Amino acid sequence: MTNYKRRDFLKNGAALAALSGASAAGVLLPATLAQAQSAAGKIRVGLMLPYTGTFAQLGVAIENGFRLALAEHGGKFGGRELEFFKVDDESDPAKATENANKLIQRDKVEVLVGTVHSGVEMGILKVVRESGTLHIIPNAGADAATGGLCAPNVFRTSFTNWQPSYPLGDLLIKRGHKSAVYLTWKYGAGEESLGGFRDGYSKAGGKILKEMFLPFPNVEFQALLTEIAALKPDAVVCFFAGGGAAKFLRDYAAAGLKGKIPLYGSGFLTDGILEAVGDAAEGIETTLHYGDGIDTKRNNAFRLAYAKTFKLQPDVYAVQGYDAGLLLTAGLDAMKGDIANKAGMIKAMENVKIDSPRGPWTMSKAHNPIQDIYLRKVVGKENKVMGVAHKALADPARGCKMA
């Protein structure tokens, strides 16, 4: 290790000295020198996340978690530091390819970390599948990213939209709920979460009475809640997240439905918003790959470090960002900071076992976590873990053919 570092230092030092001489003389740099300069310089990391809009808090939590993991590693990778380039993607799919290109073409990032919104993710995928840029998805569940559009350079540290919703079907039947209404935003994540729920619920013998949608990020729930009251399903199931989820929980209670028709969802419904919603969330059961109260040394240490650093409680988004940092670290450590060795980076990132606050997980062949899905229940300000709803759940990765 010491030997490597000294050799590396000498090599880079010599290259830089030669470089400055060449530049001063106005001479064009030979390719080898340009490469040596980039090897010696900082690793260029792009962050494409929402910092405004209904998912703004999610973007912040992801970046916090990501930076925490990197800082815990000492901030250096094979002797190289990281340089960050940031874009606020506003959760706006219409601007997605332009924003991804800003990072890749203008800023020349060597790895792009993002994003939250599945529709924006589809735009990023288009760009990185063409450029071959290393890409780590710290939230967006778009099934295609590790399904029909899977690619060697695309990794995810979060979930597919199918994954946390699938175990809900079984749960509802165990609770005796034979009929349900599903309610969500009309976009990829909502539709695919519904798909996961439908798979699990129909297999378990449940019947979906109606599927209801409103445009993203609309929060005018009143008419739909009135319709639900008239339909009288055994249960209501939904996918909402961020500010929209907080508003939905308050409206559900205000409409008098809480306590009358039990409400379930993938755990995004109650994650990161409990401070804001208070009693309206109490007792709600959800399924997700994380829960605040996972009582392990790993999770407790993570929660303490996060709270100390950011003066905030972490949530599932912070964990996914943290794990994106662990994944990148695993690749960079294996390659001693040589991120340009893409084949080596990919191989190292494929073979990881991530020691996550959520519990250890491995990377599927399609580059998505194989992970436990927990049953959680809101108790006070906590998503309390009540058990494991599905052990080591892998997404079916429909249509993934890795090139």
| Footprint of ligand PHB (CB under 6 A) | 55, 116-118, 139-142, 161, 189, 241, 268
User: Could you tell me the smallest distance in angstroms from the CB atom of residue 271 to ligand PHB?
Assistant: 7
Residue type, 185: W
DSSP label at 78?
T
Q: Which is nearer to ligand PHB, 46 or 141 (CB)?
A: 141
Q: Which is nearer to ligand PHB, 141 or 369 (CB)?
A: 141
Secondary structure (DSSP) of 145-181: GGTTT--TTEEESS--THHHHTTHHHHHHHTT--EEE
Q: Which is nearer to ligand PHB, 170 or 315 (CB)?
A: 315
Q: Are 160 and 152 in contact (CB under 8 A)?
A: no
Q: Which is nearer to ligand PHB, 101 or 193 (CB)?
A: 193
Q: Which is nearer to ligand PHB, 68 or 189 (CB)?
A: 189
| DSSP E strand boundaries for 89-131 | 111-113
User: Could you tell me the smallest distance in angstroms from the CB atom of residue 275 to ligand PHB?
Assistant: 17
CA distance 371 to 294: 14
What is the dihedral sign for C-alpha 70, 71, 74, 80?
Answer: positive
Q: Which of 170, 380, 388 is nearest to 290 (CA)?
A: 388
Q: Which is nearer to ligand PHB, 189 or 228 (CB)?
A: 189
User: Could you tell me the smallest distance in angstroms from the CB atom of residue 292 to ligand PHB?
Assistant: 15
User: Could you tell me the smallest distance in angstroms from the CB atom of residue 93 to ligand PHB?
Assistant: 10
User: Could you tell me the smallest distance in angstroms from the CB atom of residue 216 to ligand PHB?
Assistant: 8
User: Could you tell me the smallest distance in angstroms from the CB atom of residue 46 to ligand PHB?
Assistant: 19
CA distance 259 to 112: 44
* Phi, psi angles (nearest 5°) of residue 353: -120, 110
User: Could you tell me the smallest distance in angstroms from the CB atom of residue 283 to ligand PHB?
Assistant: 21
User: Could you tell me the smallest distance in angstroms from the CB atom of residue 169 to ligand PHB?
Assistant: 19
Q: Which is nearer to ligand PHB, 77 or 374 (CB)?
A: 374
Q: Which is nearer to ligand PHB, 93 or 337 (CB)?
A: 93
**Burial level of 355, CB count in 10 A (0-12/13-18/19+)?**
exposed
- Which residues does 190 contact at the CB level (< 8 Å), separation at least 6? 184, 213, 216, 239
- Which residues does 133 contact at the CB level (< 8 Å), separation at least 6? 104, 109, 110, 111, 112, 127, 153
- Say how many C-beta atoms besides its own lie within 10 A of residue 365's C-beta: 13
CA distance 6 to 335: 16
User: Could you tell me the smallest distance in angstroms from the CB atom of residue 361 to ligand PHB?
Assistant: 17
User: Could you tell me the smallest distance in angstroms from the CB atom of residue 38 to ligand PHB?
Assistant: 33
Q: Which is nearer to ligand PHB, 87 or 339 (CB)?
A: 87
Q: Which is nearer to ligand PHB, 245 or 389 (CB)?
A: 245
Q: Are 274 and 245 in contact (CB under 8 A)?
A: no
First-to-final CA distance of the chain = 34
Name residue 43's beta-bridge partners: 82
